[in-house]
Structure 1
Amino acid sequence: MYSLKAVITSISLAGVLALTAAFISSYNGPAMKALQSPANDKGFAVVELFTSEGCSSCPPADELLQRLEKENKKGQLYLLAFHVDYWDHQGWKDRFSDHAFSLRQQQYADWLHLRTVYTPQVVVNGASECIGSDEGAVVRTIAGALEHSATDSLTLNGSINGREAKVTFQATAAEKDAVVVLALVQQSAQSRVRAGENEGRELSHVQIVRGLKTVRLEGNSDHAVSIPLPKGADQQNWELIGFVQHTSGGRITAAARYPLSAGATIPTVRND
């Protein structure tokens, strides 16, 4: 029997869904079969990659995220790259890093009962984690998440006005510990690393989180928030990803996205 990782490598990860058909005959796990099920159309996976330009083990994980982004035709994957800051003292400061992202990763260590944080790490739907460069483990974890439909709901609207994204949303959650997490995402960027473990490398990134806001849910009223754009950022290369998360253990129970562009009003996107 071929290993999952070997099959993924041989076909360059031709999308989580398309990938299944290629190796289903040799890998008969229930998660892989679930990807071909019509019921899978209702499943979703919020994939959070914790990474850093200062970490030599991270570029393969960044490249994997790019392949997932490129082949994500049906839209069930919500991809987020969080650049942590604890590598910044190793000789190269990652311009996308933010201490808030390191704190978010530490929160996952607490929720998932891990002894430490590390890069690259992938967390899926707030409930499962694996090494972000382990292609087989990442795909299996995503496949497991795609078996489950959203149990809460989220509706998003927004636009970019000037130097900030203005967002309105409605969300419902069955449990009282729910928050909505809103991530302002830069869809692509490149960096030439001039020091540290990746010195001399040209790195490409996708789905880079550049702003994060958490709003506690109170009833079913409309919520309105603003998220500033980073200094010097263009206004055309952005999207917003939002999801409902439960603070008692980190579970993510609904997600939605929409593209952002300067001066444009974004149509309602619903996931329920």
Structure 2
Amino acid sequence: MILKNLIGTAVFVALMFTVSAFVYQEKKEPASRNTLAKTDGFAVLELFTSEGCSSCPPADKLMGEIKEKYKDQPIYILSYHVDYWNNLGWKDKFSSIENSKRQQQYAQTLHSQVYTPQLIVNGKKEFVGSDRDTVENSIQTALLNSGNAKIDLSVRASEKEINVNFKTSGNNSQNKLLITLVEKKSSTNVQRGENEGRHLIHWQIVHQQHQIVLKNSTEGTTSFRLPENFSTNNWEIIGMIQNVKSGGILGSSKASF
């Protein structure tokens, strides 16, 4: 009788251990999936800014802090200096009409206003670029809820130009590949305008951007003219696939020199 009780107790303990192990395994699996989602997601932060705008320096500074904080994660920052502030006292040397046109395209797609500093995340959400809490929340949401379309990039600089080889998956005619030449950091002593007397520091400055329609080919080469102040450690290439109609960005990657 005692032997039967001991056997029964042993069986019960073994059964409970098996159930506990099963429950523990069930609890661990969702956490593993969450980790995978963070790894697969990405966030493209496009800031529209200007040296002539007194509200922009806090947004520029925040981009530098975000870059440092998320340096080991798939966060891609592009700062577009617009040109429509140039006739108000100070000409931004990093500005271009192409950058202003890109912002206007977003305004049509997202039904938003054109203003600075404006930040757009993954081509889907726009808000004031100096709003730290919204930036942080948007990054976390993007990392958890975006799949990253594959983009392979390789880059080589010669004496006169920069050559970028690219390869993507899928040739959807509604998508285009944007390849951007980015200066990681620079600064300016502003002498006039709203920021007169200030020393402004900028991060991830867009200098040149090529748009390639992914209809007939998913791989190829594009070239940029070599900037005057070029150095391999302060420049990089960022590539991203964007849907023409929705404006949504489907994937992004970068390449260093």
TM range (shorter): 0.7 to 0.9
Over the aligned positions, Cα root-mean-square deviation in angstroms equals 1.7
Structure 1 window deviating more from structure 2 (246-255 vs 162-171): it is 162-171
Asked if residue 89 in structure 1 is aligned to residue 87 in structure 2, the reply is yes
The count of corresponding residues between Structure 1 and Structure 2 is 224
**2:59: which partner in 1?**
61
Partner Cα distance (2:161, 2:171) in 1: 31
- Aligned residue among 226, 230, 233 for 1:234: 230
Structure 1: gaps spanning 5 or more residues: 1-33, 261-272
Distance apart, 1:151 and its partner CA: 4.9
Structure 1 residues 173, 122: CA separation in 2 closer, same or farther (over 3 Å shift)? farther
- Aligned residue among 213, 216, 225 for 1:216: 213
Distance apart, 1:172 and its partner CA: 2.0
- Aligned residue among 121, 124, 132 for 2:121: 124
**1:100: which partner in 2?**
98
Structure 2: gaps spanning 5 or more residues: 1-30
**1:145: which partner in 2?**
142
Partner Cα distance (1:223, 1:73) in 2: 28
Q: What letter corresponds to residue 234 of structure 1 in structure 2?
A: F
User: By percentage of residues, which structure has more helix?
Assistant: 2
Would you identify which runs of 4 or more consecutive aligned residues in structure 1 move more than 4 Å?
Answer: none
**1:243: which partner in 2?**
240
Q: What letter corresponds to residue 228 of structure 1 in structure 2?
A: R
Asked if residue 199 in structure 1 is aligned to residue 199 in structure 2, the reply is no
Distance apart, 1:220 and its partner CA: 4.7
Q: Greater Rg, structure 1 or structure 2?
A: 2
Partner Cα distance (1:111, 1:189) in 2: 31
Kept in 1: contact 2:172–2:214 (CA 8 A)? no
Partner Cα distance (2:71, 2:34) in 1: 16
What fraction of aligned residue pairs are identical, expressed as a percent?
A: 41
Partner Cα distance (1:54, 1:229) in 2: 27
Partner Cα distance (2:135, 2:172) in 1: 28
